[in-house]
Every structure is written in C-alpha cells, then in structure tokens.
Chains A and B, each alone.
Chain A
Amino acid sequence: MRRTRLSPASLGPRDVLHVGSAGLRTRPMRVVLSALGIAIGIATMIAVVGISASSKAQLLQKLDALGTNMLVASPGQGLFGEEVKLPKEAPGMVGRIDGVQQVGATGDLPQAVRRSEKIPADESGGITLKAADEGLLKVLRGAMASGTWLNDANGRYPSVVLGHISAERLGITEPGRQVYIDGRYFTVVGILGPLPLAPEIERSALVGWSAAGKLLGFDGHPTSIYERSTDASVRGVRDLIPRTVDPENPRNVQVTDPSSALQAKAATEGAFTNLLLGLGGVALLVGGVGVANTMIISVLERRHEIGLRRSMGATRGQIRIQFVTESLLLSGLGGIAGIVLGAAATYVFAASGGMPWVVPLWAVGGGFGATLVIGTIAGLYPAVRAARLSPTLALQAV
C-alpha cells in the first residue's frame, strides 16, 4: 500500500529550464561555438528566403504602380500566313468599348533611324521607328525623362521622341539634338523614361501620327493599340477587342497582357534560390551534428553530476529531459541568432537595392521549428545515454 505512494515528483517547467541551462551557463564559449553552426544555417535560409521575398515584393509594388489593367491589340496571323492589318479606325473603336478609359496606338514604319547621314542605313542599332498618337504616353503611364511628348505644335515639323534605350544607343542625352530618318533630319523633342510594360517603345523612335503620314509615308494602319480599362472590366474588354476591331475576322486580332510577363516573373521569383536554400540546409545539418557532438561531450564530462542527480532522486526521465532541454536551448539559441542575422542580412540587401524589407513569417517560424527538431534529435541520443548511465559508475571518482 505504501509502495503506491512512492512516486517521483515531477519537475515544473521552470525547474526543467533551470537544470537544462545549468550546463550552458558555466560554459558560455562552448555555447557560442556550437550554436554558431545552427545560426549560420538558419541565417542563410532566412536571408535567401527574405531576399527573394523582398525582391518579389518590389516587383509586385512595381506591378501595382504599372497596373495590370493594360492590354495590347496587334494584328495576328492571317489564315494563310498572309499579313493582316488593323483597320485605321481601330483605336477609336477600342476606345468606345465599355470600361475602356484610355487608348493609344503606334504604327510601325520601315525606315532606319541614324545619328547622321554618314552612318550606313543598315546600321539601325535595333531601333525601330514608329508613328505614335498623343494618347500613348498616358496609356503607358509613362513619363518624360526630358523634353516634351509629341503634340500638335511639335507635330508640325519633323520631331521625334526617343525611348530611353534608343536614346542611349544613339548617344543622345538631351532634347534638341537631331537624328537622320529617311533623308531628313528630325529634331529630338523629348526622351522617354523607362516603360517596363512596353519595352518595345523603349527601343523606338516615335514620330507624330500625322507627321508620319506626311513625311514618312505612313498608311495610318496601327500595329499596336494600347488600352487601359477599369480593373473589373479587363476580362470583358479582352474578349470584346477582337470582335470590335475586326468583326469579320476576330482571329486576326491578337490581344496580349504585357503585365502577365511581370506577374509570372513575380510568381517565379525565388525559384533560383533552391540551391542556396539547399546550402543553408547543409549548414543547418552540420550545425545539428555540432550540437549533438557538444551534447555527447557534455554528458561525458558531467558523469559525476548525473550520478549525483540520480543519487538525489532524479529519475532516468528527468535526466533525459535535462539533456534534451540543454540541446534544445543550444540549438534554439543558434536558431534565434540565425533568424536575427538572416533578417539583418536581408535588411542590408533590401536597403541597398531600394527594396521593401520582407522576412516572411513562415520562414521565421519554419526556421525556428527546424532548430527545435534538430535540437531534439541531436539531444536525444546523448540524453538517452546519460539516463542509462549507471549511477554507481557515474559516481566513481575516476
């Protein structure tokens, strides 16, 4: 009957923490060194995830600014591969579709753009010449890097606006310079800023719609119609454009969403980081082995303490939990240090790249969870060994 009362008292959480940290408090240097491996592993993983999340956030921010409500209509392939053209009235028709707010158009021209007549015509430098209507800049949400956009006034004489890449290729940094097109010098009236949604415009030289007709033989058929609608109507507009522009052959009209490429990029951002994540994982694993090693040494060194605790009434389970706790504390400290380091590295990277600082919570939680799993695994074997130690052997003087 009295045997039933002979049951060991359980240790409270504070006491578990107390005995689990006892070994660490007396050996701070070893704690630092063995937690370092875990810290490096976690820091790597947090930084990799954080940096890719930050650049993704930046991309999404950019996408947000550019809007995902712009569509581009262009001529498709004819049924027999013949060249098809969009009707001249197409921009106006698109503008009348429900939900469409802005419309702009460009029409491709065959002529080369050169710095001067001395440069051979076939050295176009990859710059295409386009006729552009006035609405284009607004639809693209573009801005002028310098100078002015095409308008009625400068459209009366040979004027051209350069995309920023064409300006660079032509070596033109400011308006007022001239370029040679189709036997005539055109004055550069403006240089566009970057247009992430319309990289083809960045590589173009733009001439006013009517000037192109008068000076360059433009037939007035648009090759690209840019339109922006309300966010809600994007899908509907997309379906309506081909039927509106060419009711007889809607298949001849191709509609694309230039933001989809950016969206896809944002979605896949971070895919390349798998290798780095793997490296972080390896570091983490090595860190775990380091912790296990430290724990085994700790158990060997503290044989007397184990024997003493057993003599004072500690059960095997209490010895086990002491060393598992120690291991958890060790790896947990490494994990926290790693999270702080990784977040700091992400901050430095994000700040230097002008990105928002994003450290995903799931990465922090996952990283910390991983350290706890590692701590348990690393500590389990040494702890079991400590618990199995015969108290009498543990207490032996040597």
Chain B
Amino acid sequence: MSSGTTDGAVPGPADPGTCPTGHAAGPVGTGYAVDPAGTGHAGGLPGHFAGASDGFTGAPEHVVELAGVTKEYPGGVAALRGVDLRVARAELLAIVGPSGSGKSTLLHIIGTLDRPTAGSVTIAGHDIATLTDRRLSALRAQHIGFVFQSFHLVPGISAQDNVAEGLLYSGLPRAERRRRAAVALDRVGLADRMAHRPHELSGGQKQRVAIARAVVGEPDLLLADEPTGALDSASGEAVMALLHDLNKEGATIAVITHDSEIAAELPRQVRIRDGQVVADEGRAAPTGKRRAPGTGHPGIRSAER
C-alpha cells in the first residue's frame, strides 16, 4: 500500500537540488536559509503553529511539494497524471477544474489521506512515502486541517464540542481543547452559537463551524474541498471571506472548486483537467528563480516573521 514512488531517493526538502521535477529548479530548502530563526510562523491565531514544527526549528518554505504525482485507481482510472505542485507557506490558492478532473483525489493526496501510485509527496517537510499510517495520522493531526463540502459535523453535540473534536487527537487536555474551540468559534464569528447543535445552525454557519474545527489546531495547511458547494451564494461568499481573512492572518489554504468565479477571487489558480495541471496562474516566478518567502503573493503578509 505504500506508494511506489518513482523517485524514492528524494530525501525531503532539506536536501536542495534533488528536486526531480524540473518544474521548480530552485533549491527547495531555501526556507531554512532565508528563515534561520525558525519564526516563519505567521501568528494570526493565538499561538499559531505552536508545537507544529515537530522537532525542527526551521519551517520548510513549501508546505506542499508534489512531484510527478500519479494516482491510478484499481480498474485503470488515472485520476492524476504526473502532477507537480508546490504551495508556499501562507499561500491562498484555488485548485480548479471540471467535475471528474481529479481535484478531490489531489486533495486526498495532499491531505495524506491517500498515497500516490507514483511520484513524491512532501507535506510540511515530511516525505509521506517514508511514513507509516500512524505517523501519517500524526502528520494530519499536527499539520493539516480539512473542510468538506458536506461539513461532516457530529450531530447532537454543540458547535463548541464539534470544534473541540478537531483537537481530540492532538494530545491537549479536554479543558484546553474546549477553551481553544471557543476562541476559534469566536474567530469565525460564531461566538454566540457555541452551544448550538448542528441542526440548529444554517448551512453557512455549519461550514464556519467546520472551518473553526479545521483551524483550531493551527495547521500548516488548510484544505477545503468545495467548501461552498452546499451553500447559497451569500453564505458561500461569507465562507470565502472568512478563508481570505484566515489567510491574511497567515494560514496556508488550498480551496478546491469547480467554480471559476470563486477561483478567480483567489490569488492563485491551479487549473486541473483530466488529472493534469494545465495552468498555474497568479503565481509569481513559478519556475527557476529563487524567491524570498512572503513576497509576490497577494494575501501573504510581508511582515511574515
């Protein structure tokens, strides 16, 4: 079940110059040099990214690095075919494409819920091919937050408890989980809905609760799969505005959508079709050049450290 990566020799971002993709020839590990103090955390939410660095002081420049990622489902459907993708810290991007183009598959692979059949995936500096299922779980707990089209709130428990569930696997004590959940709910504008249960909330509110649950652990990466897909346009806009705000506070966010309008509002659009990246727009200096973090991307605060 561990993927047969075509380039299993890729040791991770700390080893510059071995990136085989040709897509970004620049050394991957520049983040260390540029940000030696390891304070690359954008501290919007309280204690943002605290404890997420997993034992090393420098944060990799790229939260996501995919190289030649291919995903074939049993039966021969190739949902992804050689996808290269890098997402820098504090980016806000759309992954946009028609239905069936492989967006969800891509999100699952970025989110480490699934492994590629070929290619390498490095998330927050961890080459997932080398990680066991247990360690992948820990990676998700510490580094990744998910938002789903259909919210996936736990019925029958309050908004605050739903958000606190997002920290259940973090090792924090229960009281602290609930306290942080309250802060996160406040952040998404639902301070007055703490005790409401999912069936007492509107669709937009539910999705904001889900977003609060995804960001309460202060992940390095927030993945949202069609977050507005089940919402009316007003609620959808509110949710997108919230994502923008979170990004301004430093969160790295990838929004998956089939809706070009929504995608167009985001600083970067990765267009995907038939399992391949066909365009990557709005991204400054996409290839070859060294690029200091925190520049060239709207939405990333220049005073990142």
Interface positions of A (Cβ within 8 A of B)? 1-11, 14-15, 18-19, 22, 25-26, 304-305, 307-318, 390-392, 395, 397
Which residues in A have their C-beta under 8 angstroms from that of B55? 1-2, 4-5
The 0/1 profile, CB within 8 Å of A marked 1, for residues 101-114 of chain B is 00000001001011
Which residues in A have their C-beta under 8 angstroms from that of B113? 307, 310-311, 391-392, 395
Known contacts A25-B156, A391-B114; decide if A312 and B166 are in contact (CB<8 Å): yes
Cβ 8 A contact of B142, one of A6, A22, A26, A317 = A6
The 0/1 profile, CB within 8 Å of A marked 1, for residues 156-198 of chain B is 1100000001101111001000000000000000000000000
Report the minimal beta-carbon distance from B252 to chain A, rounded to whole angstroms: 17
Which residues in B have their C-beta under 8 angstroms from that of A309? 165, 168-169
The 0/1 profile, CB within 8 Å of A marked 1, for residues 124-156 of chain B is 011000110111011111101010111010111
Closest A residue to B167 by beta carbon equals A312
Which residues in B have their C-beta under 8 angstroms from that of A5? 54-55
Could you tell me if A9 and B148 are in contact, using CB atoms closer than 8 angstroms? Answer: no
A-B contact pairs, 9 of them (CB 8 A): A2-B56, A8-B138, A18-B174, A308-B152, A312-B213, A313-B137, A315-B134, A318-B137, A397-B149
Could you tell me if A22 and B154 are in contact, using CB atoms closer than 8 angstroms? Answer: yes
Could you tell me if A316 and B131 are in contact, using CB atoms closer than 8 angstroms? Answer: no
Starting from the known contacts A14-B174, A313-B140, A395-B108, 7 additional A-B residue pairs (CB-CB under 8 Å) come to A7-B134, A15-B174, A304-B150, A309-B168, A310-B113, A314-B168, A392-B114
Report the minimal beta-carbon distance from B163 to chain A, rounded to whole angstroms: 11
Which residues in B have their C-beta under 8 angstroms from that of A22? 154, 157
Could you tell me if A6 and B168 are in contact, using CB atoms closer than 8 angstroms? Answer: no
Cβ 8 A contact of A307, one of B152, B156, B171 = B152
Cβ 8 A contact of B152, one of A1, A10, A304 = A304
Most buried by B among A19, A305, A317, A391: A391
Could you tell me if B171 and A10 are in contact, using CB atoms closer than 8 angstroms? Answer: yes
- B: number of interface residues (CB 8 Å): 38
SS class of chain A's interface: helix, strand, loop or mixed?
Answer: helix
Most buried by A among B108, B142, B144, B152: B152
Closest A residue to B225 by beta carbon equals A395
Could you tell me if A1 and B168 are in contact, using CB atoms closer than 8 angstroms? Answer: no
How far apart are the CA atoms of A316 and B152 in the complex, in Å? Answer: 19
Closest B residue to A4 by beta carbon equals B55
Cβ 8 A contact of A3, one of B111, B126, B156, B170 = B126
Cβ 8 A contact of B138, one of A7, A15, A18, A395 = A7
Report the minimal beta-carbon distance from A104 to chain B, rounded to whole angstroms: 76
8 nearest A-B residue pairs (beta carbon): A313-B141, A9-B171, A5-B55, A313-B169, A26-B156, A8-B138, A315-B137, A391-B113
Which residues in B have their C-beta under 8 angstroms from that of A304? 150, 152
Could you tell me if A395 and B140 are in contact, using CB atoms closer than 8 angstroms? Answer: no
Which residues in B have their C-beta under 8 angstroms from that of A25? 156
How far apart are the CA atoms of A312 and B171 in the complex, in Å? Answer: 12
Interface positions of B (Cβ within 8 A of A)? 54-56, 108, 111, 113-114, 125-126, 130-131, 133-135, 137-142, 144, 146, 148-150, 152, 154-157, 165-166, 168-171, 174, 213
Report the minimal beta-carbon distance from B59 to chain A, rounded to whole angstroms: 11
Closest A residue to B210 by beta carbon equals A308
Which residues in A have their C-beta under 8 angstroms from that of B169? 8-9, 11, 309, 312-315, 318
Which residues in A have their C-beta under 8 angstroms from that of B157? 22
How far apart are the CA atoms of A89 and B193 in the complex, in Å? Answer: 101
Which residues in B have their C-beta under 8 angstroms from that of A391? 108, 113-114
Which residues in B have their C-beta under 8 angstroms from that of A397? 149-150
Which residues in A have their C-beta under 8 angstroms from that of B138? 6-9, 313, 315
Cβ 8 A contact of B154, one of A10, A305, A318 = A305
Closest A residue to B56 by beta carbon equals A2
Could you tell me if A9 and B152 are in contact, using CB atoms closer than 8 angstroms? Answer: no
Could you tell me if B137 and A8 are in contact, using CB atoms closer than 8 angstroms? Answer: yes
Closest B residue to A398 by beta carbon equals B150
Cβ 8 A contact of A390, one of B114, B126, B131, B155 = B114
Report the minimal beta-carbon distance from B277 to chain A, rounded to whole angstroms: 20
Which residues in B have their C-beta under 8 angstroms from that of A11? 168-169
Known contacts A2-B55, A10-B171, A26-B156; decide if A315 and B133 are in contact (CB<8 Å): yes
Closest A residue to B148 by beta carbon equals A395
Cβ 8 A contact of B170, one of A313, A315, A318 = A313
Could you tell me if A311 and B140 are in contact, using CB atoms closer than 8 angstroms? Answer: yes
How far apart are the CA atoms of A18 and B177 in the complex, in Å? Answer: 13
How far apart are the CA atoms of A391 and B137 in the complex, in Å? Answer: 11
Known contacts A25-B156, A304-B152, A395-B113; decide if A9 and B170 are in contact (CB<8 Å): yes
Closest A residue to B165 by beta carbon equals A312
How far apart are the CA atoms of A352 and B54 in the complex, in Å? Answer: 69
Which residues in B have their C-beta under 8 angstroms from that of A318? 137, 169
Known contacts A26-B155, A397-B149; decide if A19 and B168 are in contact (CB<8 Å): yes
Report the minimal beta-carbon distance from A16 to chain B, rounded to whole angstroms: 10
How far apart are the CA atoms of A19 and B141 in the complex, in Å? Answer: 16
Most buried by A among B111, B137, B146: B137
Could you tell me if B130 and A312 are in contact, using CB atoms closer than 8 angstroms? Answer: no
Could you tell me if B152 and A314 are in contact, using CB atoms closer than 8 angstroms? Answer: no
Which residues in A have their C-beta under 8 angstroms from that of B134? 7-8, 315-317
How far apart are the CA atoms of A18 and B134 in the complex, in Å? Answer: 21
Could you tell me if A6 and B152 are in contact, using CB atoms closer than 8 angstroms? Answer: no
Report the minimal beta-carbon distance from B2 to chain A, rounded to whole angstroms: 14
Could you tell me if B141 and A312 are in contact, using CB atoms closer than 8 angstroms? Answer: yes
Which residues in B have their C-beta under 8 angstroms from that of A3? 126, 130-131, 135
Most buried by B among A8, A15, A304, A314: A8
Report the minimal beta-carbon distance from B219 to chain A, rounded to whole angstroms: 10
Which residues in B have their C-beta under 8 angstroms from that of A18? 174
Known contacts A3-B131, A8-B137; decide if A312 and B155 are in contact (CB<8 Å): no
Could you tell me if B142 and A392 are in contact, using CB atoms closer than 8 angstroms? Answer: no
Which residues in A have their C-beta under 8 angstroms from that of B148? 308, 395
Which residues in A have their C-beta under 8 angstroms from that of B155? 26
Cβ 8 A contact of A310, one of B126, B137, B168, B170 = B137
How far apart are the CA atoms of A317 and B136 in the complex, in Å? Answer: 13
Which residues in A have their C-beta under 8 angstroms from that of B152? 304-305, 307-308, 395
